[in-house]
Amino acid sequence: MPQIHEPSRKLDDPGFAWSMVKTTRAQRHALKRLHDRMEADYVEQIKHGVMPTVLLSYRQFRKSAQPYFDDSGCIMVQWANMWVGIERDGYTHS
C-alpha cells in the first residue's frame, strides 16, 4: 500500500492548496478522463434527485494528485472512494 500523506483539510475546502506534482502528458490525459467520468456521475446524480458532494474543478482535481512513495513517476489520486494510480504512460490502476 502506498505511503501517502493524508491532508488535514478536505479537498473541497476552498483553502486547500497543494502544489501540483509534475506529470507527463499521458498522465494529464488520464486525469482528464477520470475527471470527466466524475463530472458525468455528478450530473447523473442530480438527474435522479440526489444532492451529490461538491464537484472539484479539473484544476483542483489535478492538484490533489500525489506522487507515489517511490521514484517510478506514478501519481496517486483519490477518485470514487478509492486511490487510483496513474503510471507515466497513462495506465490507470486501483
Q: What is the pTM of this model?
A: 0.76
- Its domain, for residue 79, covers 25-93
- Planar angle of CA 55, 10, 21, nearest 5 degrees: 85
Q: Does residue 44 sit within a domain?
A: yes
* Segment 4-16, tens digit of pLDDT: 444 444 555 555 5
Query: Of 41, 48, 39, 34, whose CA–CA distance to 83 is shortest?
Result: 34
Q: Does residue 29 sit within a domain?
A: yes
Distance CA 13, CA 40 (A): 22
Distance CA 2, CA 85 (A): 10
Domain count of the fold of the chain: 1
Q: Does residue 86 sit within a domain?
A: yes
Mean pLDDT, to the nearest integer, of 54-58?
90
Q: Does residue 66 sit within a domain?
A: yes
